[in-house]
Amino acid sequence: MAEHISTISVVIPARNEGPRVQRTLESLARGRSRTSSPLEVVVVDDASEPSRRPRIRNLPGLDVNLIRLAERLGVPAARNAGAAAATGDVLFITDAHVTVGAGWDAAILEHIGPRRILAGAVSDPTSAFRAFGCTLVVPFMGTRWIRRRPPVLSAVQIPSCASTAVPRRLFLELGGYDRGMRLYAAAEPEFGVRAWLAGADIVAVPDLEVSHRFKERASLDQFIDGLRPSMVHNSLRFGLLYLSEAASLQMLRYFAFRYPDELPEAIAMLDDSDVWTRREALGQRLIRNFDWFVDRFELKDQEGGEILR
Amino acid sequence: MADGGRAAKLGRLFQAMVNESEAIRLLRDDPEALAKRFDLDEQDLKSLRAADSLVISLRGEEITFETGSTFTANLRGEVTFETGTTITARPPRDITFETGTTITARSS
């Protein structure tokens, strides 16, 4: 525990975010309480369309590193690229369209630990919505928001992707976000589960609040359009990496009901992936198995039943 | 947690689903036939059937509610009415689904 953690790097994936990135940077600069040294921010442009690339101007106190990916790799891979380029002791992983609260950096440095990941709060500037991390939904392999404010440093299953602080060394030890995840969805809960199973803790820091601009319905539909097979693939991959055989079969049939149009393509993607060898490798590497996670959080399935073991 | 046998069984099932769209159809519509065809045991079949409590899928059926009937909206899971499904309340009455039930209208 003697490891000294004193510097933060902010990692921001951005695709077609244009001027919103600058406003996020301004908020980060404004909210800092420790200004004795520059704040490193790594913005990863996930192959934005030319007219919608991040527009960034210099800001006092910020050392911004803009990385452009040659092709669209998706949010998890963009975060991994940002983490690889970052040099701070802690990675604050957030989004390109957020406003942070005052003293966000102090909240991180006060509570972070070598094997501790912080789950900040996420709020919506247009409503009363506020959440403090997420719980896992099985066998859908998605998440539900935690709406009730938890005590500081209480255990959280999954940190929100817009407000996650993780020691860089721990992030690299864990292997970052699963490189087998495509484009969008499931990577964040998978990372949270893997962190727990690797012996790390994820704890709530409600005062580390990020106001996040959620996409409106039409914009979300447009964003997701074409991504669904990848989303189904990612969810199935997540389940197949950790669930028991029984729960995996239940999950497969559930997805056959729910996403019959997307399932064939998702199955083909899985068949062309390393999912089985990765499952084997995780089984050997992780110090806990998924049953531990179920017991630790008294997890039920999405309808309140027992999770199949 | 490492379990090569398990991965192999699921792997075979995946291979079949990649090569035959029929396998995916059986997964959804006829888990008994799927189990028989891919040498799944009773426990596997039970696991597949466990999805039934999460999703109730009604395809191309006509559901008529007679006065006083209780089409149970005691269904806790998701109810999917695919294109072609007709729901008629006779005579007209309200149909109520319990909180938490998701109703999805799928386009074909």
ipTM of predicted assembly, 2 dp: 0.85
User: Bigger pLDDT: A36 or A152?
Assistant: A152
Q: Averaged over A222-235, what is the pLDDT?
A: 89
B86-90 and B62-66 strand pairing: parallel
- Using an 8 Å Cβ cutoff, are A245 and B9 in contact? yes
From chain B, the residues in CB contact with A276 under 8 A are 7, 10-11
Residues A271, B28: C-beta atoms closer than 8 Å: no
Domain ranges of chain A: 8-214, 220-289
Predicted confidence (pLDDT) per residue in A100-114, tens digit: 999 999 999 999 999
Q: Label residue B81 by pLDDT band (50, 70, 90).
A: low
Q: Label residue A67 by pLDDT band (50, 70, 90).
A: very high
From chain B, the residues in CB contact with A137 under 8 A are none
Residue B92 CB: number of other CB atoms within 10 A? 9
- A205 has pLDDT over 50: yes
Interface of B with A in 24-53 (CB under 8 A): 24, 27-28, 31, 40, 43-44, 46-48, 50-51, 53
Q: Label residue A225 by pLDDT band (50, 70, 90).
A: confident
Q: Label residue B103 by pLDDT band (50, 70, 90).
A: low
Q: What is the pLDDT of residue A34?
A: 81
Q: Averaged over A199-208, what is the pLDDT?
A: 98
Q: What is the pLDDT of residue A200?
A: 98
- Using an 8 Å Cβ cutoff, are B44 and B22 in contact? no
Number of Cβ pairs closer than 8 Å across A and B? 94
- DSSP summary character for residue A183: B
Average pLDDT, chain A: 94
Residues A258, B43: C-beta atoms closer than 8 Å: no
Predicted confidence (pLDDT) per residue in B11-69, tens digit: 788 888 888 889 999 998 899 999 998 888 999 999 999 988 776 544 444 454 444 44
Domain over A8-214 is classified CATH 3.40.50.720:
no
**Residue B91 to chain A, least CA–CA distance (Å):** 31
The rounded distance, in Å, linking the Cα atoms of A139 and A248 is: 8
Domain ranges of chain B: 4-52, 55-106
From chain B, the residues in CB contact with A252 under 8 A are 13, 27, 48
